[in-house]
């Protein structure tokens, strides 16, 4: 099966009532990437750009492990570091 055929199968798959009911109530916001202002209203956000850096695998694994130990993730750490860097 080619990639295009598989993609078509996914698009044409009918969702059952169980699929829809099992989704979290805020799934539409999660899927769209919209953030809420607490009142349930979507808050527009600035478009995002991807950045990348080549680092040794062992360093990345250590960073990921330490982030998990501190109840965060690599993406959050990088965003915080960049925000701090550009604000100084």
Domain extent listing, the chain: 1-45, 48-88
Identify the residue with better confidence: 69 or 3: 69
Q: What is the mean pLDDT of residues 83-88?
A: 93
Give percent of the chain above pLDDT 70: 51
Residue-wise pLDDT for 55-67, tens only, equals: 999 999 999 999 9
Q: What is the mean pLDDT of residues 16-42?
A: 57
Give percent of the chain above pLDDT 90: 41
Q: What's the CA gap between 86 and 88, in Å, rounded?
A: 5
Residue 84 class from Cβ within 10 Å (0-12 exposed, 13-18 middle, 19+ buried)?
Answer: exposed
Q: What is the DSSP string of 44-74?
A: --PPP--------HHHHHHHHHHHHHTT--H
Is 84's pLDDT higher than 80? Answer: yes
Q: What is the mean pLDDT of the chain?
A: 76
Q: What's the CA gap between 79 and 88, in Å, rounded?
A: 15
């Amino acid at each position: 099966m080619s990639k295009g055929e598989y993609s078509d199968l996914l698009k044409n798959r009918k969702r059952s009532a169980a699929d829809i009911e099992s989704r979290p109530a805020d799934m539409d916001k999660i899927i769209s990437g919209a953030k809420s202002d607490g009142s349930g209203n979507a808050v527009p956000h600035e478009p995002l750009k991807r950045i990348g850096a080549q680092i040794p695998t062992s360093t990345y694994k250590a960073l990921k492990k330490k982030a998990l130990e501190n109840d965060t993730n690599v993406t959050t750490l990088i965003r915080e570091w960049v925000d701090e860097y550009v604000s100084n």
